Amino acid sequence: MSEYYFEMAYKEAKKGYRLNEVPVGAVIVKNDRIISKAHNKRIKNNLVLSHAEVLCILKANKKLKDWRLNNCDLYVTLKPCEMCAKIINESRIRNVYYMLTKNEDSNTYSKTKYSEKCSNNIKIKLKKLMKNFFKNIR
């Protein structure tokens, strides 16, 4: 059955290719049924978040009326990037199956610098706020 899901992901990748997008396609499956599929649309949507995996997750969330995608599997044509991997983990997808790994020679973009620059006073207030929030929902 997984070959069929990979074939559907490949068809999505071809749609992206026709739009001059990086040809990545994704399919989410639950209980042996495809619940969503998508392809890259970063250029079309002019939106950095429009990776196939993210769009596929958003469609599945809408269809299931839940942000949690427990018991769902993702089939994707290319191993997810770091951004998508984090979103996939947060969505609680059970398994990710991919066809190819990104070429190691390809350029990676890391022009953003991260640094922690905040006073201890506001950090303490934020820690308390976070602690109270999670205490109240559990």
The one-letter code for the residue type at 132 is N
37 strand-pairing partners: 27
Two structure tokens written together for 132 = 């109270």
Tokens at 96, concatenated? 């990710």
Out of 7, 12, 21, 53, pick the active-site residue. 53
Active site residue 53: yes
Task: Provide the pairing of β-strand 95-100 with 33-39.
Answer: unpaired
Residues recognised as catalytic:
53
